[in-house]
Chains A and B, each alone.
Chain A
Amino acid sequence: MQMSAREEGQSALLGPSRRVLIIGTLISFLLMIIGLSYAVVVGTRDESVDIPGLLNSLLSLKPGGIVGLGIVVMLLTPVLNVLALGVIFARLRDRWFTLVALLVLVIMAANALLSGR
């Protein structure tokens, strides 16, 4: 059975989107496991909950910093997925959905910048 143009377009999106989500989740997962294992071994839990605190912990290679980096990677994974979809839509010359992807990225960037202030 031949694939319709619509189905072919859908196929072009599924593979890269799936790869971004799986790789992002795996990296995040590994960072959190490493950070948690490190915390169990050394027995310290630097429970920083703000962004500067997490950054300091990461630069000092403390367990909380590594776990925090894993959390940030997890939060960025869907955003990177939207970026990947935007690139694919641009290659497919689908201007409407390229703009939608761009709009999502602008909203997320503005939110991250305003949250960080």
Chain B
Amino acid sequence: MDNATLLILAATGFAGGTFGAMLGLGGGVLIVPLLTGILGIPIHQAIGASLVGVVATSSAGAGVYLKSRLVNVRLGLLLEPVLALGGITGGLIAALLSGQVLSALFALALIFTAYNMYKTGQVQDERLHGEIDEHVQTAHAGRVYDALSGEITDKATGRTTAYRVRGVPIGLGASFVAGNMAGLLGIGGGIIKVPVMHLLMGLPLKASVATSNFAMGVTASAAAFVYLSEGLVNPFLVAPVVIGVVVGAQVGSRIAERVQSSALGRVFVVVLLFMAAQMVSKAVGISG
């Protein structure tokens, strides 16, 4: 591996870290296609590198989001056991699948998410999240839901929004799927967690992105240990990517704080569709 390759890997990590922190994705959706498509790295190794990058994005991005008080720490922690179990399971399954199957799964996940986020963008934030929904609480779930309630101040609009978390069982189920996708495809699972938190659990979009980013560190770490034990984590491939990701995550987190939620959603859709096309071409053997 020469010095030019190290620089290209760092640039890939920077791009992934910036977009990942902005969108709560962890950067994997960019890193994996770029590593496999441009540099010809086997997809299992690319996923291993991406997972370490996802951990880096989460940790570096969460530092910024925690300072801005966008993270719902209790909700993030509550989802982590299920996310970690999903991540471990996904990592073990990935070791059994071929590169083409993984590429096809990657493309499907991206198309599904792009569609969901396109629909999300058509719903006004104010209508969904401007007021606390008092009708979903039950006597048993009330205690837990109250502990999960929160409020955020959107720097872009200056508006403070109080919210109450609902749909915790759905969130836990989706978290297992998200964790599974993380371990299987090297992505942070934000493509599942962000829409579920936003649409089904009642969090504002920016709180969803920040909380997803916070929780995905444990998910990716659990899955990365599986890849490490399988000999799929090459230090000289991973390190430049991670360094780029850490720097990019700082840039992306700061941009995300100042961008309107609707603009964030539009960027989300375009990036996902572009990467889906790339992975389809790999799955059917047109490229790589």
Which residues of A pack against B, CB within 8 Å? 6-7, 10, 13-14, 17-18, 21-22, 24-25, 28-29, 32-33, 35-36, 39-40, 45, 47-51, 54, 64, 67-68, 70-71, 74-79, 81-82, 85, 94, 96-97, 100-101, 103-104, 107-108, 111-112, 115-116
Apart from A67-B238, A75-B52, what are 10 other A-B pairs with CB-CB below 8 Å?
Answer: A10-B74, A13-B73, A18-B67, A21-B60, A22-B59, A40-B3, A47-B235, A64-B235, A97-B147, A107-B85
Question: With an 8 A cutoff between CB atoms, is B81 at the interface?
Answer: yes
Residue from B60, B80, B225, B233 within 8 A of A112 (CB atoms)? B225
Question: With an 8 A cutoff between CB atoms, is B150 at the interface?
Answer: yes
- In the complex, per-residue mask of B29-73: 1 if CB is within 8 Å of any chain A CB, else 0: 000000000000000000000001001101110110011010101
Distance, CA A76 to CA B221, complexed state (A): 7
A111: which B residues are within 8 A, CB to CB? 84, 88, 222, 225-226
With contact pairs A21-B62, A21-B63 given, residues A32 and B84 touching in the complex (Cβ less than 8 Å): no
B60: which A residues are within 8 A, CB to CB? 21-22, 25
Q: Contact check, B236 vs A79: say whether CB atoms are below 8 A apart.
A: no
B229: which A residues are within 8 A, CB to CB? 50-51, 115-116
With contact pairs A71-B52, A96-B147 given, residues A104 and B225 touching in the complex (Cβ less than 8 Å): no
Q: Kindly provide the distance from the CB of A14 to the nearest chain B CB, expressed in whole angstroms.
A: 5
With contact pairs A22-B63, A104-B218, A112-B225 given, residues A33 and B73 touching in the complex (Cβ less than 8 Å): no
B interface SS class: helix
Q: Kindly provide the distance from the CB of A24 to the nearest chain B CB, expressed in whole angstroms.
A: 6
Residue from B84, B231, B243 within 8 A of A107 (CB atoms)? B84
Q: Contact check, B221 vs A75: say whether CB atoms are below 8 A apart.
A: yes
Distance, CA A39 to CA B73, complexed state (A): 39
Question: With an 8 A cutoff between CB atoms, is B200 at the interface?
Answer: no
A77: which B residues are within 8 A, CB to CB? 55, 59, 217, 221
Residue with the greatest number of chain A CB neighbours at <10 A, chosen from B59, B63, B226, B246: B59
Question: With an 8 A cutoff between CB atoms, is B242 at the interface?
Answer: yes
B56: which A residues are within 8 A, CB to CB? 25, 28, 74
A14: which B residues are within 8 A, CB to CB? 66-67, 69, 71, 73
Nearest to A54 among chain B residues (CB) is B235
Q: Contact check, A103 vs B240: say whether CB atoms are below 8 A apart.
A: no
With contact pairs A10-B150, A71-B242, A115-B229 given, residues A100 and B78 touching in the complex (Cβ less than 8 Å): yes
Q: Kindly provide the distance from the CB of A76 to the nearest chain B CB, expressed in whole angstroms.
A: 7
Q: Kindly provide the distance from the CB of A63 to the nearest chain B CB, expressed in whole angstroms.
A: 8
Q: Contact check, A107 vs B242: say whether CB atoms are below 8 A apart.
A: no
B85: which A residues are within 8 A, CB to CB? 107
Q: Contact check, A75 vs B73: say whether CB atoms are below 8 A apart.
A: no
- In the complex, per-residue mask of B250-274: 1 if CB is within 8 Å of any chain A CB, else 0: 0000000000000000000000000
Residue from B63, B78, B222 within 8 A of A108 (CB atoms)? B222
Q: Contact check, A104 vs B77: say whether CB atoms are below 8 A apart.
A: yes
Question: With an 8 A cutoff between CB atoms, is B228 at the interface?
Answer: yes
